[in-house]
Amino acid sequence: MVYDNGTTKNVSGVGLGLRRPLIDYLNAPQIMTPQFLELAPENWIGLGGQSEADLHRLAESYPIILHGLSLSLGSPDPLDRRLLSAIKHFMSAYTIPIYSEHLSFSGANGHLYDLLPLPFTQTMVKQVVGRINAVQELLNVPLAIENIASYAQSPSDMTEIDFFMSVVEKSGCEILLDVNNVYVNSINHQFDARKYISALPSNRIRYMHIAGHYKESESLLIDTHGTAVCHEVWDLLAFSYACHGVKPTVLERDFNLPVWDELSRELISIAEHQEDAINSLMNANGARSE
Amino acid sequence: MVHAVSDVDDVRHLHDIARSMRDPEQFPHVKGWSAEQVGVYRELVFNNIESLLSNCFPLFKASISEKIWSNVIEQFIAYHKSKTPYYFQLATELQDFLNHEASISLPRCAQSLVDLECQLILCAHFQNTKLFRSSNVTTEVLINNEIYLNETAWSLGYDYPIDSLFNTFPINGLPPHQKNEFIETVNSMPLKPCFILVYRNQHHEVRQLKLNTLSYYFFTLLSDYSGSAEAVTPRHIICQLAQTLNLSLEKVMTSGAELLQQWQRECIVSVCNPHQRSCLLHGMD
């Protein structure tokens, strides 16, 4: 099924996850500013006052996309249609082209406000696909689902990548590829990160995430969004671009916010990786045509 | 593939995970997860909710020991079924829990503190439905014309003088050495009514004004009449107040006029009708 709400507006290049302490930087002239912003609708919908004024001002300068936290796609609780209606209205008000969510659940019998892992089973695929279809029908846009970082795996009858791909194929949804999460999970659950990324269909990847993580031990990484991106994840981003082409990429930094110059360097690094990937592709095409 | 299983009841498993996150002592096991993995997730859930609520309730958190605060968060996670997907509404969820479900011994004025902090959050985030247009008119004009209230201004009444805490302590950054003194002050707070006007100004800053009994009733009546079909002037309300409370009309009129001027300066009241394009009142400065 093709979804189009009539307000399709593409984003490209480098994005930044919006946090309130960053607003002053984003409103001031900077050497490097992101080309678009990603925000959590649950932190902005229905807010007046300073938040509303900030959002209006930012929306005049930056395209905005939504990255949800509370939809709880795998939850046994009923799908929150009131939240979805509010998101639909919000997307229309700010001409927002993308809404993404996590392939996880965040509670049963009420919210726990965190991302909990789902069992990788056929039953779960069916459950999640039904809910994603309901979301897409209500919003009339394809949902992009994110591969989450996880620190435990429940009894399953397939691998994580097979589960993820099953959901994507059966629901027709898009992918938000979180490169850091692939890396974190490849350490926590010992699989080949490159193999995971290669298995994804390029044409379904709508955009990407990159972030820092915390090394709890040699075998346990936690996706904190609280540190700089490590070189292994930068390498994996380069690999992702080589595999799937350059996609819009959001830097997520939620905690231990550094000074703007430091964040800026990471935004510039994403842009450089994108440029390198485009140049490599053009050189390869040039070599072929010679 | 991690585990070869054939008949996993997924829904039950998700409930098991959620139960274990809520109450790891009573439900320590999740099928397929090690104790360490359960611990990692439980810590993430606890820390996230604790951090969100700490930001909402600096005053309430400072009024109790770290141990009791942790206990509040643990019980909240264990027993309260939060319905809101919106993070800023988590404060209201905690208030609801403390008022109806919690079994924790808290200072007598805890309910008042929690309510005030919820009101401050609500005021900061309130989405205006009406335009407020400020005015700058003489006292005479203020007294004799219909008054319009800023939607983000409301009066609150409490049983304890919690307003005094704001004057005595740096609430948003209480130094550790003042923690015990703060707890002692809160615990020894006498039963005495306190009235506060909470409002958001034109710069989106949330402010508080202390009200006395008379100004509280004056504001409440202004609020009741504001926007009602019955056009009532402050003069009429002041006369009504003086009569009801058996006070000198002259004194109440003087106090009422001063209050109206202060509230006009703070953009709490205005003579400008938000539904009219211009504010052309006789006496407008």
Q: Tell me how far CA of residue B9 lies from CA of A120, B17, B31, in angstroms.
A: 12, 12, 11
Q: How big is the CA angle at A71 (ends A69 and A76), to the nearest 5 degrees?
A: 130
Alpha-carbon distances, residue B162 vs B169, B186, B194 (angstroms): 11, 8, 7
Taking each helix axis from N to C terminus, what angle separates A231-244 and A179-188, rounded to the nearest 10 degrees?
120
**Residue segments in chain A with a per-residue pLDDT below the cut of 50:** 1-8
Which has the closest alpha carbon to A26: A67, A65, A66, A54? A54
Contact present, A147 and B30 (Cβ < 8 Å): no
Window 154-173 of A: residues touching B by CB (8 A cutoff) are 154-159
Residue A152, CA atoms < 13 Å, CB-side half-sphere: 22
Do B5 and A156 count as a contact with CB atoms less than 8 A apart?
Answer: yes
Task: Flag if A51 and B125 touch (Cβ within 8 Å).
Answer: yes
Interface of A with B in 65-84 (CB under 8 A): 69-71, 74-76, 80, 83
Q: Which residues contact A263 (CB under 8 A, 6 or more apart)?
A: A16, A22, A25, A251, A253, A257
d(CA A69, CA A63): 20
Tokens of A223: 């996706």
Chain B residue with CA closest to A189: the answer is B2
Rounded to the nearest 10°, the torsion over CA B21, B27, B29, B35 is: 60
Which of A69, A78, A153 lies closest to A110, judged by CA? A78
Across the interface, of A42, A109, A121, the residue whose CB is closest to B86 is: A42
Q: A80 vs B2: CB contact, 8 Å cut-off?
A: no
- Which of B86, B90, B204 shows the shortest C-beta gap to A50? B204
The pLDDT of residue B178: 83
The DSSP secondary structure of A190-220, one letter per residue, reads T--HHHHHHTS-GGGEEEEEEE--EEEETTE
Q: Is A48 on the interface with B (CB under 8 A)?
A: yes
Quick one: closest CA in A to B84, which residue?
A: A111
B128 neighbourhood in chain A, CB within 8 Å: 48
Pairing of strands A36-39, A14-17: parallel
Mutation test of the interface with chain B: which of A113, A120, A196, A222, choosing the one with the most B Cβ atoms within 10 A? A113
Crossing angle for the helix pair B66-79 and B35-56, to the nearest 10 degrees: 110
pLDDT of residue B179: 85
CB contact under 8 A, A157 and B5: yes
Q: Name every residue whose Cβ is closer than 8 Å to that of residue B212 and which is 6 or more positions away in sequence.
A: B195
Q: What is the pLDDT along chain B (285 residues), one digit of tens a residue?
A: 444 343 458 999 999 999 999 999 999 999 999 999 999 999 999 999 999 999 999 989 999 999 999 999 999 999 999 999 999 999 999 999 999 998 888 988 999 999 999 999 999 999 988 778 888 899 999 999 888 899 999 999 999 999 888 777 776 677 788 888 889 888 999 999 999 999 999 899 999 999 999 999 999 999 988 767 677 899 999 999 999 999 999 999 999 999 999 999 999 999 887 777 666 554 444
Interface confidence (ipTM) of the complex:
0.93
Which one of A71, A156, A222 has the shortest CB-CB distance to B2? A156
Domains defined for chain A, CATH in brackets:
14-289 (3.20.20.150)
DSSP letter, residue B199: E
Question: Which residue among B18, B40, B127 places its CB closest to the CB of A112?
Answer: B18
- For chain B, the residue count is 285
- Chain B residues with CB inside 8 Å of A109's CB? 15, 18, 81
CB of A52 less than 8 A from some CB of B: yes
Residues 248-267, chain A, touching B (beta carbon < 8 A)? none
**8 A C-beta contact, residue A242 and residue A273:** no
In this prediction, residue A284 carries a pLDDT of 81
At B108, list the tokens: 């007598």
pLDDT of residue A290: 56
The pLDDT value given to residue B5:
41
Phi, psi of B274 (to 5 degrees): -65, -15
Interface list for A 202-221 with B (CB within 8 A):
216, 220
| Pairwise CB contact (< 8 Å): B125 & A46 | yes
Mutation for A interface: B13, B101, B120, most A CBs within 10 A = B13
Residues of chain B with Cβ-Cβ distance to A116 below 8 Å are 14, 17-18, 21, 41
Determine the Cα–Cα distance for residues B221 and B242; give it in Å rounded to an integer.
13
Q: Mutating which of A39, A84, A109, A114 best tests the B interface, going by the most B Cβ atoms within 10 A? A: A114
